[in-house]
Structure 1
Amino acid sequence: MAIIVNKEEKRRNIALSCRELLLKHGIGELTISQIAKTAGVGKGTIYEYFENKEDIVFEIIRTFIIEHEKRLSEVSRSDLSTREKLFHFFYLLFENEIARKHLNIYKEFLAISLMQETKEMLSFSETCREDFINILNNILEAGVRSGELNAQMSASASSLMLFATGLVVDSRLKSLDVKEEIDRLLNMIIKENQ
C-alpha cells in the first residue's frame, strides 16, 4: 500500500525543523545542505517542497509572524489597560533574547523584500500589516470605549503601525531607546487621567 504524504504538512514540518538553524545562521548564511541535514531529508526532497532557500525562509518567517499575531491577539483580549496593551504591541519583538532573534531574521527578510519586491513578498507583507492593524484597531476601540483614549484615536491604527515599523527599522541604532520611544508615544495618546 502506498504511503500518502500530505505535502503541506511535510512542507511545514521541514520548515519548522529549521527554525533554530535560521535563528543561528541568519538568512544569508543558511544553505540548502544545512536545511536538508537538519530536516533529515535529502536535498532533492527539499526541492520537491520548496523552490529555493528563500521559499523555506519565507515559510519559517510565516510561522514566527503567526505566533507573534497570536500573542498580540491574546494581549488585545486581556484585562490589561490600553496603555499596557499598546506597550506590549510595540515592545513584543524586543522583550527577550528569542524575540530579538526573531526580530533580526525579520529585519533580514525585510531588507531582502525591499530589494527584490517580489509579488509574493509584497502580498505577504500587506496581509501581515492588515492583520496587525486589525489587532491595533481592537485595542484602540476598546481604549475609546473605556475612556482611556480620545475618540479620534480609533482611526489611528495605520499611523501606529507605521510607528511600529519605524521601531523595527531604527532599532539597529545604538542611540535609540525603544522603551523610551514607546513611552513617549503612549504619553501623547493616553488621556492624562489614566
Structure 2
Amino acid sequence: MARIIDKEEKRCDIARAAIDPFCEKGIAQTSIDEIAKSSGVAKGTVYLYFKNKEEIIFAIWDMLSRRHKEEFEKRLHPSMSAQEKILAYFNFSECEKDHDKEKMLTLYQHFVSAMLIDKTGLYTAYFESFFQEDFDFISHCLEEGIAKGEFELENSALLSSSIILLLKGLLVRAKASNMGFYEAQNLLFEHVKFLLNHATRKHG
C-alpha cells in the first residue's frame, strides 16, 4: 500500500532543506535546482509545493516564527515584569535545540539583506508584517508596565520603534563584524535592556 504523503509535512521538509544552500550562497544566488538537490527531490516536486523561491523563504520564516513563539510562551509566567517579558521575547535560544545556531544568524541576516534590496515589495511587505507584530507586542508590554508603575514613559511607540530598529541594525552589524550567535544575542540583550532601563520608573 502506497504511503500517504502529508503535504504540509513535505512542504516543511523542503523548506528546511533549503536552509543550508540559502546560508551558504545567499538567497539571490540559490537556485530551485539547488534546493531540490538539497531536499532530495526532483525540481518539479519543489514546484508542486511552492510557486517560487520567495514562497520557500516565507515558509522557513513561518516555521521559525512559530517555533520561537512556542518557546517564548513556555518562558512566560505571571510574576514577570514587562521588561522581563520583552527580554524573554528577544531570547532566541531555541536555535540551539533545533538548528545550527550560527546558520540561523546567517539566515536572519540574509532575510534582512533581501528585504533591504527588494524592488518587488514582496519581501518588504512580508517581513514588515512580522516586525509589526514585534512592535505591537513591545508596545503592549510597555503600556502594561506604565499602568503598573514599572515605566515612566511619555512615548511608548517611539521606544517600541527604537527597539525594532535596533534589532534590524544589529543583524547588519553582526554580519559586518563577523559576530557569532552568542555575541549577537548578548549585544541585543545589552542594548534592549539599556533602552528599557532608561524608561524604568525610579522609586524613592
2:64 aligns with 64
1:89 maps to 2:94: no
Change (3 A) 1:133 1:69: farther
Change (3 A) 1:68 1:153: farther
1:27 aligns with 26
2:195 aligns with 185
In the aligned structure 1, how far is the partner of 2:95 from the partner of 2:67?
Answer: 15
Compare 56-65 and 155-164 and name the one that shifted more: 155-164
In the aligned structure 1, how far is the partner of 2:40 from the partner of 2:77?
Answer: 39
Pick from 148, 159, 164 the counterpart of residue 161 of structure 1: 164
* Equivalences for residues 115-130 of structure 1 within 5 A: 115-130=117-132
Tell me how many residue pairs correspond in the alignment: 193
Identical residues among aligned pairs (%): 29
2:144 aligns with 142
2:111 aligns with 109
The DSSP-based 3-state class of the residue aligned with 1:171 is helix
Query: Aligned partner of 1:25: which letter?
Result: E
Query: Aligned partner of 1:82: which letter?
Result: A
Alpha-carbon contact 2:22-2:30 (below 8 Å) kept: no
Q: Which runs of 5+ in 1 are unaligned?
A: none
Query: Aligned partner of 1:127: which letter?
Result: S
Compare 110-119 and 125-134 and name the one that shifted more: 110-119
Compare 181-190 and 5-14 and name the one that shifted more: 5-14
Shift of 1:159: 3.3
Alpha-carbon contact 2:12-2:59 (below 8 Å) kept: yes
In the aligned structure 1, how far is the partner of 2:95 from the partner of 2:202?
Answer: 26
The DSSP-based 3-state class of the residue aligned with 1:172 is helix
Shift of 1:26: 5.3
Change (3 A) 1:14 1:188: same
Change (3 A) 1:136 1:118: same
User: CA-to-partner distance for each residue in 1:79-132, whole Å, 9 max, x for gaps?
Assistant: 322232232334537996855532321111211222123232122122112211
Which structure: greater helix fraction? 1
The DSSP-based 3-state class of the residue aligned with 1:117 is coil
The DSSP-based 3-state class of the residue aligned with 2:202 is coil
User: CA-to-partner distance for each residue in 1:151-178, whole Å, 9 max, x for gaps?
Assistant: 5354342333223222333233549871
In the aligned structure 1, how far is the partner of 2:150 from the partner of 2:88?
Answer: 16
The DSSP-based 3-state class of the residue aligned with 1:118 is coil
Alpha-carbon contact 1:137-1:157 (below 8 Å) kept: yes
Alpha-carbon contact 1:141-1:154 (below 8 Å) kept: yes
Alpha-carbon contact 1:11-1:49 (below 8 Å) kept: yes
Q: Which runs of 5+ in 2 are unaligned?
A: none
1:49 aligns with 49
The DSSP-based 3-state class of the residue aligned with 2:133 is helix
Shift of 1:185: 1.7
Alpha-carbon contact 2:21-2:34 (below 8 Å) kept: no
